[in-house]
Structure 1
Amino acid sequence: MATTSPDVWKSPKHRRTVYSVLGIVGIAILFDGYDLVIYGAVLSTLLDDPSHIGALSPAVAGTLGSYAMIGVMIGALTAGAIGDKLGRRKVMLTAIAWFSIGMALTAMANSIAMFGFLRFLTGLGVGMIVATGGAVIAEFAPRNRRNLFNAIVYSGVPAGGVMASLLALLLEDQIGWRGLFFIGATPILFLLPLAYFALPESPRWLASRGHRKEALALCDRYDLPAADFVPAEAPVSVPTTSAARTNTVVAPERTGFAGIFSRAYLPGTLLIGAMSFIGLLSTYGLNTWLPKIMESNGASSHDSLYSLLFLNGGAVFGGLIASWFADRIGAKTIITSTFFLAAICLASLPFISSWPLMYTAIALAGIGVLGTQVLTYGLTSNYFGTACRAAGVAWCAGFGRLGGIFGPVIGGVIIGAGFGPTYAFFIFAGAAVIGAICTGLIPRSPAETSVAITVEPTPARV
């Protein structure tokens, strides 16, 4: 338990360290969002002109969109297991380099097969960033600001979408889709060196692995409050007389995936996975196909890109506002509400003829779809204890990416079959309702209470 007030910074150096970590992780996830949306932003160009990577059908385009999500799922699940054993810093540095190189190579792809393979490889790096970033923020953020800090960091996903939409609108005619992908590779030039020098290992992780001296030394170097970052060792009581009826010992917390699938965490683990699955199905499905759906609804190819701008812009501002309420009334309540908000807005879109009202509904849906994901990672990282936190966030990001795989495929099937926009919006609205139900059923975190085992002592010999 911390002994210092979570509202008080120990020193300016403590504050600078935490904000540096926040900035590094936030920028990394900003480019995750850029990668998410840039494919949807250039998809019309790739569909209309087979000279780029080959002749694409809507079904193949949807499958290509899912390849990156398969990579993200594998990368996130792998990062969770590795991050809880080798540390957060090593995984983040590797992920930034991997993602950047993948984006650069994708920009040079000249066939559908090569493009899909490189999207998969890039997704591995994205998954490592998403899974590890939540664990890093949860372990450096002040306790009463974790939802806010997680929302700031993960709002990088929709903010990256806004960046991708704007750059596609402004620069695609000048630099083409390949130039837009090269922009996504730039973190290796500035973010990787910054992270190498300014991103420390997590003292909480070091302490959880038994390296208390290293954790305390790290707290001293960065002037972090040791009482907050290095939990005190739990005393183990032993029976002092044969008359003792019971002996209470603290049960060691399981690490990694063994921890999140233990009996205490299992119900919440499954529901968190379902919640993330639904959120990412909607997020990736809409970000891949919303421009095409809007074209079917009467928008021009250029104007349809504004739908991505409003979807992601609404998520940025709405997610930050929602996080403020989440720190006061709980993330679960807010996520449930925003899922329902998305369902209402998406279901109403086919019946709205006014473009201002339509873009307003899209922005509100963005709060419930992408904005919900911002809070999902915060809820997850705070639900699991330190020993299995990275695995918990990895499960949320990794299993959720199965939804990200199905989202683009579902959109491609709908468009390829010639169904109108009404079917697409109703399908995504129904998914949001299911997400709200799963979120509402998540139980209280076992990490909020100490786990004790009652052991009957051996009877004294007479």
Structure 2
Amino acid sequence: MDTLGRTGSAHVPATRTRLNRAQIAGFWGAWAGWTLDGMDSFVYALVLAPALTELLPNSGYAATPANIGLAGSILFALFLVGWGLSFIWGPLADRFGRTKVLAGTIFMFAIFTGLAATSHSVWELGFYRFLAGVGIGGEWALAGTYVAEAWPEDRRKMGAGYLQTGYYAGFFLAAALNYTIGAHYGWRAMFLTGALPVVLAIIVLMRVKESDTWRRAESLSHGAARRRGPLAEIFSARYVRRTLIAAALLTVAIIGLWAGAVYEPAAVIQLAVKGGATKPEAARIASIATGVLSIGTILGCLVLPPMAERIGRRLTLAIYFIGMACSIALAFGWAFYLPDGLATFIGLLFVLGFFGGNFALFSLWLPEQFETRVRATAFAFCTSVGRFIGAGVNFGIGAMVLHMKTLGTPIALTAIAFVIGLVLIPFAPETRGEVLPQ
């Protein structure tokens, strides 16, 4: 037995363990929360241009393309800072349970997304998006931790892939809402739809049972670990290396995918307008392009778990990082500048989306690296670090867009982050074939 309490390679039975009703209900509660989380996150990207066109003049600024780009970057950076502060949910979940805290995150992001519809200035919108980000940021860590602990060992890897599809199904849902509600009723109606997850939060709180894994760990959690606290524990000699490497790899993933995904609608709109489309037509094309991106990512999430089981976690992540670097560089650095590059750009979005499914690996891999009593804290912390750094990168992207008077090149340069990630991957632990540590 090693220092993390594992018992070596797990034997995978020929017949998969059947899921019981509680495990199925818990998964769908976590999946639905992650779906609505993804929808909420991407609503902002889809309504960025019309919302800032209205709010900038109310705030004393001209609604020029440069100002919209800069303000959009600043507001998204504030959103990422909120995401970064979401590490507070991890210790709460390790202490009080996954489901109660998961419901709290859903409730928080739903309320403040709905309130964004009442904004009268960019400052109000930024404030509401910051607080929504605090709620949204905690959902992934808690949903991923819950599914890893609640599902049987021979099902949990694929469960991570299934769970991650929810976030990008949310992208697709946001695109569908923008194509219908947004196109007819405007950006405020889009934010109002983000308040609907309040109902889900209530259902999660009342219907989803806590995992047996957490219950056992809680009953046995005594002594130095409890006195020290889970946040201090993940920086102990036992965990510090894997904590820092996991946080760095997640930072790479967040910088690259979010740069591409958040600016994708604006890029598509610019290309469509350049090709002769009206602004309403361009907005609809952007919704279709988002759907293409989402379908690609869902497929990438489903392909990843069996690949990670066959060739290992590290090699799988390396392949996905190489795919992300190439697709971002080609889409924003090449197709964006073609005379008639809209179709090529949208085609590359599918590839970008597929390799953007690398996030599913973290839902699978992070729980394998930490024991139950600190798992949610570690997951939340590692995801939060990337969001703080991603916020700084977004300020830099906004400044580059303003200086270079173009959207494509600054986004294309974020492909460099994945090269850095490839250097870091060998330092991460390979956990293929190992059972979830208790």
TM-score when normalising by structure 1: 0.80
Residue deviations 1:100-125, cap 9 Å, x none?
21111112121211111111111111
2 CA distance for matches of 1:390 and 1:137?
Answer: 12
1:111 corresponds to: 121
Whether the 8 Å CA contact 2:168–2:298 is kept in 1: the answer is yes
| 1:342 counterpart residue number | 324
Matched ranges for 1:70-219 at <5 A:
70-75=81-86, 77-189=87-199, 191-210=200-219
Question: What pairs up with 1:34-433 in 2 under 5 angstroms?
Answer: 34-50=39-55, 54=59, 55=61, 57=67, 58-75=69-86, 77-189=87-199, 191-210=200-219, 256-297=230-271, 298=274, 300=277, 301-302=282-283, 303-349=285-331, 350-352=333-335, 353=338, 355-369=342-356, 371-433=357-419
SS at match of 2:20: helix
> In structure 2, do the counterparts of structure 1 residues 264 and 177 end up closer, same or farther at CA, with 3 Å as the change threshold?
same
Aligned partners of 2:192, 2:352: CA distance in 1, in Å?
30
Are the aligned partners of 2:400 and 2:410 in contact in 1 as well (CA < 8 Å)? yes
Contact 2:110 2:198 in 1 (8 A): yes
Q: What letter is aligned with 1:274?
A: A
AA at the equivalent of 1:29:
W
Give, in angstroms, the shift of residue 9 of structure 1: 3.6
Distance 1:296 1:146, change over 3 A: same
Shift of 1:277: 0.8
Deviations 1:128-147 (A, max 9, x none): 21221111011012213322
Larger Rg computed on CA atoms: 1
1:328 offset after TM fit, Å? Answer: 2.9
Deviation of residue 41 (structure 1)? Answer: 0.3
Q: Which amino acid aligns with 1:351?
A: W
Task: Provide the residue aligned with 2:36 in structure 1.
Answer: 31
Q: Take 2:436 and 2:247, find their aligned partners in 1: how far apart are those partners?
A: 24
Q: Output the CA distance in 2 between the equivalents of 1:135 and 1:284.
A: 22
Output one character per residue of 1:357-386: Cα deviation in whole Å (capped at 9) or x when no partner: 4322211112223x1112222211222121
Partners of 1:74 and 1:406 lie apart in 2 by: 14
Q: Distance in 2 between matches of 1:426 and 1:51?
A: 27
Q: Please give the secondary structure, in 2, of the residue aligned with 1:49.
A: helix
**Cα separation, 2, equivalents of 1:173 and 1:263:** 54
Distance 1:178 1:449, change over 3 A: closer
Counterpart CA distance in 2 for 1:439 and 1:311 is 26
- Structure 2 residues not aligned, in runs of 5+: 1-6
Structure 1 residues not aligned, in runs of 5+? 213-250, 452-462
Q: How big is each residue's C-alpha offset from its partner over 1:278-322, in whole Å with a ceiling of 9 and x where there is no partner? A: 111122222322222344554554234443332222111121112
The question of whether the paired residues in 1 share the 8 Å contact of 2:365 and 2:431 is answered with: no
Superposition deviation, residue 393 in structure 1: 0.8
2:3 is matched with: none
Q: Could you tell me how far apart the structure 2 residues matched to 1:106 and 1:450 are?
A: 40
* Counterpart-to-counterpart distance in 1, 2:435 and 2:43: 43
- AA of the residue aligned to 1:411: I
Contact 2:107 2:198 in 1 (8 A): yes
| Structure 1, 122-131 or 433-442: larger mean CA deviation | 433-442
Distance 1:80 1:362 in 2: 33
1:248-272 Cα shifts (integer Å, max 9, x gaps):
xxx9798622332122322221111
SS at match of 1:264: coil
CA contact (8 A) 1:44 1:292 kept: yes
Letter in 2 for 1:256: P
- Deviation for aligned residue 1:449: 9.7
The answer (yes or no) to whether the contact 1:267–1:443 under 8 Å persists in 2 is: no
Is the contact between residue 80 and residue 393 of structure 1 (CA under 8 Å) also seen in structure 2?
yes
Look up the equivalent residue of 1:433 and give its one-letter code. V
**Aligned counterparts of 1:446 and 1:261: Cα–Cα separation in 2:** 23
**What secondary structure, in the 3-state scheme, does the structure 1 residue paired with 2:186 have?**
helix
Please report the RMSD computed on the Cα atoms of aligned residues, expressed in angstroms: 3.1
Relative to its length, the structure with more helix (as a share) is 2
Q: Give distance in 2, aligned partners of 1:266 and 1:446.
A: 20
Give me the whole-angstrom Cα distance separating, in 2, the residues matched to 1:131 and 1:333: 23
**Closer/same/farther in 2, CA of residues 200 and 139 from structure 1, 3 Å limit:** same
Provide closer, same or farther for how the CA distance between residues 117 and 418 of structure 1 changes in structure 2, counting only shifts above 3 A.
same
Distance 1:406 1:53, change over 3 A: farther
Query: SS at the partner of 1:417?
Result: helix
* Count of paired positions: 409
Deviation digits for residues 63-116 of structure 1, max 9, x if unmatched? 1112121111112x1011111111112201212222221111112121211111
Listed one character per residue, the Cα deviations across residues 153-195 of structure 1 (whole Å, up to 9, x for unaligned) are: 1222221111112211222132211111111111112x12321
1:15 is aligned, of 13, 20, 26, to 20
Cα distance between partner residues in 2 of 1:425 and 1:290: 10
Mapped to 2, the partners of 1:361 and 1:182 lie a distance apart of 31
